[in-house]
Chains A and B, each alone.
Chain A
Amino acid sequence: MNLSQSSTLIKYKNYRYFKIAGLLVAVALVAYVSVKPADSLFYGGTWLSFVLGVTSALIIIVLMLYGVRKRVASKVPERRHYRTSVVHQQEERNAQDDFYALHKAERRKRDIREGWRYGGTLQGWLSAHVYLGASLIVLASLHTGFQFSWNIHTLTYVLMLLVIANGFYGLFTYLNYPALITRNMGEDTLNGLLLKIDKLDELARIRALDLPDEVNALVLKARRETRLGGNLLQQLSGSQHDCPTDAAILGIRLLSKTLIADDQPKLMRDLYSVLLQKQKLVLRVRNEIKIKASMQLWLYLHTPLSVALLAALFTHIVAIFFYW
């Protein structure tokens, strides 16, 4: 179920930024086709290329500002001091020059209208980030005039494409993974699951005390050596080679055939069910770590690549002045 209906990242404000970006792209394409500078060696010096370049550079700046806006929660205007008495509120409202007299719905509308002055909503920023970023593929390509070689200019272009491709992957994870997390975790939190696993480990240890040493060894190994996170690749794989918990479950099944003492079958069954429960939890935790890792990993590339792009862009701009 989609709670916020039409206000997803993609559909934000009825595709506002899609429309803006689309318009930019359309205008650029029409200009490019009609001017047809195709094989001019000095395309870079034409007004069309200059305009496209400046626009793209400005867009890149705006895209980078998203990172700033995300970290600075919001530029908040001074809070009105109206948290005193009811009587005070009354007086203030009687003075009514402002929107406090408006009804909630109207106030919301006005909040939105005025909101941009105080940094807008982060959702709006992100929606713009996605569409404007995508539009760069066309704008910057047209800016290059499809003239590539081994130089700083092409490097800048390539870096930009890398950042955008990386961003598309990020968008894909943002749109698809949240629901997976909920499905995997339900109402549990990672810490909660870890605590549960710990409790099950302890329970398994106690249950195994009356059982043969081989069983104890398996249980102990499952407790000590089952890995949940690990290094990046391990996190992303979401599994463990020769997982000791799986091994313990298998081992107990095999051992249970050989054990015939009186009350041990029941003990074995109890232990077995505990380990099965643990196995399920371990799987969920690994899943969670895997999804979270893939949701975050791209960002660790996105930001450094962007900074590299900015540096390259700066060099590119400085460099072109030498051509003039």
Chain B
Amino acid sequence: MSEHFKIAIVGGGPGGLSAAARAAELGISHVLLEAAPHIADTIHRYQKGKLVRAEPMQLPLRSALSFYAGTRENILRTWQQELAELGVNVRVGAAVSAISGQCGNFRIPLEPGKTLTAEFVVLSIGLQGNIRKLGVPGEDMQRVQYQLDDPDEYSNETIIVVGDGDAGVENALALSRQNRVILVNLHEEFSNCAEANFQLLMTAVTEGHIETRVSTWAERVDTIAKGDFPVAFVAHTPQGLERIECHRVIARLGAEPPRKLLENFGVRFPNSDTASVPQLSEQYESNVPGLYIVGALAGYPLIKQAMNQGYEAVEYITGNPVEPADEVLLREKFAGVPNIRSVGDGIALVRRNLPLLESLTTLQLREFMLDSSVLAPRSGEVIFARSDYNNSFYSILEGEVSVHVEGKDGAAVFTMGAGDFFGEMGLLSGRRRSGTAIAGENCVLVETPRRSMLKLLNAASGVQRKLDEVSLKRVVLNYLDASLPDSELDYLVQGAKFKQYAFGEVIFKEGDKADGLYMIRRGSVTVSRMVAGKEQVLAYVSAGNYFGEMALTSNMPHSATVRAVSPTDVIVLEAEHFRAVMERNSSMRGKVGSRYLERISQGEPNPSGEPGGLIKFLMDHGVGEATDVLLIDYSQCIRCNNCERACADVHGGISRLNRGAGPTFEQVHVPVSCRHCEHPHCMKDCPPDVIRRSVHGEVFIDDGCIGCGNCLNNCPYDAIQMAGTSEYKQLTVWEAVFGRRKHREVRNEADANLPKKAVKCDMCMGIISGPACVRACPTGAALRVSPEEFFSFVR
């Protein structure tokens, strides 16, 4: 017996639901097949009360279902309601394991004896489809779970959580409130979870709320007939087999990619890379005609994107050439570009003129353009100026741009044309621009914000590779000698290596053999030497500079130890190549030579010694990655807390610094306050992306904070707090004269219920006379400095 539908939708996630809803709305015969016993299984498996976000904000929703950021429960309830109202034909518990036939007559076998036929198939099974199980005897026991709905459901139990990803760690953290939790990790370290989760986990472990087993994997799960514990988890540990009796096992091991299944359906993938997505037309149609793929499976993990695509796929099937939802937005982007009439033209132009992006699919390109903006600066206009903070990445679509670099060793001008890109150095270093970029005639640029570009670099290895190739030579020209001829440049960069160092890692030691020239792309290092048995820091070297040349030119072992004081990326040039090029080029010899002399003068240890390891103390507390840090000279600080009061006074009554907290060394105190890091940790995971850096370097939180608290968790320096809104009135002069000490705070009842928002130091951005904390210090104990300035003080 078989049923026939026009559209069969496989997978009841957001994409599938949206497709089915649209089909129902249009009155097309359809069926939605979902393997799980309920719709939206992935969202269903979120933790209770989890906030579901509606990113990307700027993308309009196009669906017969509604979707706003909200709690998991709200969203599921709304969808259930709307599906019922629309009369969508949903079949849950219907797992699809094969699709045969072709367009117009697909055959989908369900349970034995039943087969569906459909003219079109929309696949929206997502990536979560096939949950990885433990893969050992006992994996299907009732007390072995692969999801955690409500952590508060369990109390006073012993629970084993398996998995070191975010899901596992989050579950363990949530369960540890009421239970004894043992977190089992196959790996040696917890490196697979987000930094914020890692920190929370480490705190929980230190405080004894969670026990962990690392390098441990399951052997089997046994049932215990009698006693307090119903199951026993037997695992391989580094010490041998361990049997842990417990109440339940929760395994969060991610999912098997559904690629195999897709290949069985006849869908082809562009390469064997596990991360690759099936080749799709712009209408989401796969190489199998009539088989459409939407959502995470097509490379779009966000709910809103999937919902839009589900809707659009149904439109395409019905022969309605609807514009993609982002079309309007993209059209606006291209509006300023001459000779571009449609978005298609624009995308084609980007594809043709930006070879850097050639490895991206059209859909990826559209997303890239959605995040970026198209600029058409007038000839001679400054795109960014030297020493600006501007971390955008620019690609030249048309026309020319000249970059004027002005270093210690003279000035140089680079001209770039269509297809070139610039701004990658500031993007990677997180520091001020090293040159000024000026637009030429008829110039059209694509400006991509820092976050989108970093996301792209992480996701598309092809783009990263290309970028590195080009930027390598730029770095050499910029750091070493801008007048180096091309042939020498090519030779110099042969065999160059990209290396990364973590905070505190030693790059080379005093006495090591010289192995190359190190150019810092990102981060900063200290140069230190052992003096009278104590390590003395001699210099602080930041991104945009090189080190290691002393040993190379003198043919001696390294005379000092170099250590990364923030996460650092370096490019190492081959020693032989460097020496040979130095030999042949007098201009480079001169430049490196003069730097060498400077280093020697720096390298002389201070006779009085760097005061008792002060620099080391500051670097240990993360000052190395700061751009502007508040320090207090405690030998002058009278502890009046006027700095805090002044800060509160100009920031609506809430001080963004905590004078008393924070580490102290000798008489130097680092209060808890923002350091305006080169690569701000707070920016990493801001859902509405409202943490910005102004051209002058202040990192600030713009309007639009949703109060999620991610930045608060991500900031290693506790410099961010959540605050409610209240009206605040500064003291008037008369109130001060007559001795009133407290400001007036007017609490607005309506505001009390609003969610709190993140607030942090904005360095009194826009206040002409500068940071209030420093200006309000009666004794001059408070000062704001960059690590470089600070270093010059101390030496």
Contacts and interface: CB of A to CB of B under 8 A. Distances in A.
Interface string B757-783: 000001001111110101111111101
B768 A4 contact: no
Interface stretch (B318-326, B513-521, B636-644): B636-644
Contacts of B349: none
A179 B770 contact: no
Interface of B: 373, 381-382, 385, 387, 390, 392, 447, 449, 611, 614, 631, 633-639, 642, 645-646, 649-650, 660-661, 663-664, 666-669, 692, 694-697, 700, 702-703, 730-733, 736-737, 740-741, 762, 765-770, 772, 774-781, 783, 793-794
Contact of B775 (A94, A121, A174): A121
B639 A79 contact: no
Contacts of A189: 660-661
Interface in A113-134: 114-115, 117-123, 125-126
Contact of A111 (B449, B702, B768, B781): B768
Interface residues of A, number: 60
Nearest to A125: B778
B649 to A, nearest CB: 4
B766 A115 contact: no
Given A179-B634, A182-B635, A1 B776 contact: no
Contact of B697 (A104, A177, A179): A104
Nearest to B737: A68
A114 B778 contact: no
Given A70-B642, A83-B766, A111-B770, 19 more contacts: A68-B737, A73-B642, A73-B645, A73-B730, A74-B649, A77-B767, A82-B765, A83-B692, A83-B703, A89-B695, A108-B770, A122-B642, A122-B775, A179-B634, A181-B634, A182-B635, A182-B667, A189-B660, A295-B639
A179 B636 CA distance: 7
B635 A178 contact: yes
A103 B387 contact: yes
Contacts of A80: 766
Interface in A30-86: 67-68, 70-74, 76-77, 79-84, 86
B784 to A, nearest CB: 10
B733 A8 contact: no
A301 interface: no
19 contacts: A3-B783, A7-B780, A68-B733, A74-B772, A74-B775, A76-B767, A79-B766, A82-B766, A83-B766, A101-B385, A104-B697, A114-B768, A119-B775, A122-B778, A177-B638, A178-B639, A182-B669, A187-B664, A292-B639
B778 A179 contact: no
Contacts of A2: 633, 635-636
Given A9-B780, A73-B649, A73-B730, A186 B664 contact: yes
Contacts, number: 172
Contacts of A292: 639
Contact of B636 (A4, A72, A93, A186): A4
Contact of A94 (B381, B765, B779): B381
Which applies to chain A's interface (DSSP): helix, strand, loop or mixed? helix
Interface of A: 1-5, 7-9, 12, 67-68, 70-74, 76-77, 79-84, 86-87, 89, 93-94, 99-101, 103-104, 107-108, 111-112, 114-115, 117-123, 125-126, 174, 177-179, 181-182, 186-187, 189, 292, 295
A73 B254 CA distance: 54
Contacts of B778: 9, 70, 122-123, 125-126
B770 A73 contact: no
A156 B660 CA distance: 40
Nearest to B647: A73
B636 A8 contact: yes
Contacts of A100: 695-696
A87 B634 CA distance: 42
A119 B778 CA distance: 13
A161 to B, nearest CB: 23
B373 A178 contact: no
A311 B48 CA distance: 68
Contacts of B694: 82-83, 89
Cβ-closest 3 pairs across A and B: A73-B649, A73-B646, A71-B736
B391 to A, nearest CB: 9
A101 B436 CA distance: 13
Given A68-B733, A72-B731, A4 B783 contact: yes
Contacts of A126: 778-779
A126 B636 CA distance: 13
A1 B609 CA distance: 12
A228 B169 CA distance: 45
